[in-house]
Structure 1
């Protein structure tokens, strides 16, 4: 190993809590550099700050811009082996150009042209799809091999489709129209922990899988509220229900706001209904590393500013309003995506009405890395009023 230019560089500084700058200290620091050592007293303010200081910053992506660029990509970029997916990731401006929305979360718009198939593969990264508009694509989960027949799962506006890691999956568009949706994965988390695996599947799915059922097999087995099939024993990590339908989410949020109006509570705060997508097998989060929620904020209501450890990505499903993340405030409309970094306060005010929202409210889809922080006992939350 060369000793002429070691990667560790230490500078003696005159500051409170630091040793006096002397020739002996300089000599000590050169010895540290040669042996690739870093003393804590020079780094403690950066390594152990008083509160989280995220490398990510609050940022907003406009859906109309994402969709316009995805449409152009549809005309130019093929789908197939190599690129695998026509997925365009959000890159937080302070994460060095990496395709990471936050240090732990990936978010992307995926675009599939009419008649196209996205080839089969699997990966250890946990994933989901969320549809803000459109229909016509089916994702086929759990196929591959000579006899296995994957489960064809329809994707429609408002549907949330979790995909636990290491499951084979492909997509096919059977309509004459393109379709876009958002993908969420824990790619950055598995990247930094050096734990990821990836494997190619079949070039084409079978004819038996190129079907378009109204409901997938997983929905027929697991999609009945409060009812667990006795034919199934233990299940693999992640939710066995592959699609959470919008009509159920919508009804649950509506009922919470109606209960509040009737004086029975049911909301997390005035005018703010919220649900968490959960695993019907055991009630845990749908994915081991990702939490997914849906929030409905009635017109004129404003949420209390809350900050949490861990990061989140939000997409406006419907309506309009104003969101504040840290010292940034934006007006948002359908499809817009924004990031809430760790320990940055977040609040939202609904300005939605019947002209710009089917529900008459500001509807927000949210996903976060909360299960990781809770598993490590690093979760913390604070309401600022």
Structure 2
């Protein structure tokens, strides 16, 4: 049989199957299964010198208690209206002023805090507090009570800003988001500061500890120790042509990632470093701890300075260069991709 008007026949057929909530795969196969990733996420940078005043101004407009979390979301320009940095990850800059308390709550989303500016504020997780210092990496595990506070001005408090990183978009994809407020503003403190690090932070652990949670039992990783490790490796090891000196944070109880859905890294680039290009299927968010340099992401090039935040989308070529000694913190959705056998890397 021949069809004198195949387009009209197909249109009529598509309308018919559409009434049964069906669509033809052959019309969308190439976009559903592309030859290479086509991320909607775009390369972008947030210059801290340009946004710092806006972050601080939020402190005069709304209190930490009223806001629950006083955060300015860093929204990727390729994902407008989604409060997301990547399809799986969220980023925001949170401010807490002297004398303030961000009230206790818990949620299924896992969170990291990377301290950008200021010191002396604290965060409490499941009955233990840790004091914040610039460059510290702090974890809030899924479904754990947590609150934040800052000493008063008389007690030496100062404004503290940190980068929030959460798997909010990923949890939303799975319709698994739950949250609950604590009955009081702050949770009771049942363990002294440093207790978790004393138990697990020295290549040792309690004899009868059983791993029942994939999140690290250490919830605060001090920058002083991370920086010391990077320096030692730079002095005594070989410099990687792509990454400089790069370390991943680990869960000491398992050797895996500190959080089940978020990978975290710290890397050192010596002055004059000119890295080679690499790309990976895990989209990566960077925060500059120290130094100055340039990052080329695809066709875009950005100058970075301390506290800047920038994003490298999935499968975008990345090339890092440093004009002075530089340290970068970064986090990505690598554990999720690795678990699904979707992680791919390429070094050129």
1:182 aligns with 2:163: yes
**Equivalent pair of 1:163/1:238 in contact (CA under 8 Å):** no
What is the alpha-carbon root mean square deviation over aligned residues? 1.8
Q: Which residue of the other structure, out of 151, 170, 175, is the alignment partner of 2:128?
A: 151
- Could you tell me how far apart the structure 1 residues matched to 2:189 and 2:121 are? 13
- Could you tell me how far apart the structure 2 residues matched to 1:210 and 1:109 are? 29
Q: Which residue of the other structure, out of 220, 223, 239, is the alignment partner of 2:198?
A: 220
1:110 aligns with 2:98: no
Q: CA deviation at 1:54?
A: 0.4
Q: Which residue of the other structure, out of 146, 166, 173, is the alignment partner of 2:143?
A: 166
**Equivalent pair of 1:317/1:334 in contact (CA under 8 Å):** yes
Q: Which residue of 1 aligns with 2:185?
A: 204
Normalization by structure 1: what TM-score? 0.85
What are structure 2's unaligned runs of at least 5 residues? none
Q: Which residue of 1 aligns with 2:344?
A: 380
User: Within 5 Å, which residues of 2 pair with 1:192-341?
Assistant: 192-205=173-186, 209=189, 215-224=193-202, 226-260=203-237, 265=238, 267-269=239-241, 272-341=244-313
**Equivalent pair of 2:242/2:278 in contact (CA under 8 Å):** no
- Could you tell me how far apart the structure 2 residues matched to 1:245 and 1:328 are? 33
Q: Which residue of 2 aligns with 1:51?
A: 36
Per-residue displacement from partner, 1:270-323 (whole Å, max 9, x unpaired)?
Answer: 881111100010110000000000011111112221111121100111100000
CA distance 1:320–1:185, shift in 2 (3 Å):
same
SS of match in other structure, 1:188: helix
CA distance 1:126–1:271, shift in 2 (3 Å):
closer
Q: CA deviation at 1:157?
A: 1.1
**Equivalent pair of 2:266/2:330 in contact (CA under 8 Å):** yes
- Could you tell me how far apart the structure 2 residues matched to 1:310 and 1:193 are? 19
**Length, aligned pairs only:** 340
Q: CA deviation at 1:112?
A: 0.4
SS of match in other structure, 2:176: coil
User: Within 5 Å, which residues of 2 pair with 1:86-165?
Assistant: 86-142=70-126, 150-165=127-142
Structure number, greater radius of gyration: 1
- Could you tell me how far apart the structure 2 residues matched to 1:171 and 1:210 are? 16
Q: CA deviation at 1:210?
A: 11
SS of match in other structure, 1:156: coil
CA distance 1:299–1:56, shift in 2 (3 Å):
same
SS of match in other structure, 1:132: strand
Q: Which residue of 2 aligns with 1:371?
A: 335
CA distance 1:270–1:62, shift in 2 (3 Å):
closer
1:37 aligns with 2:19: no
- Could you tell me how far apart the structure 1 residues matched to 2:134 and 2:147 are? 19
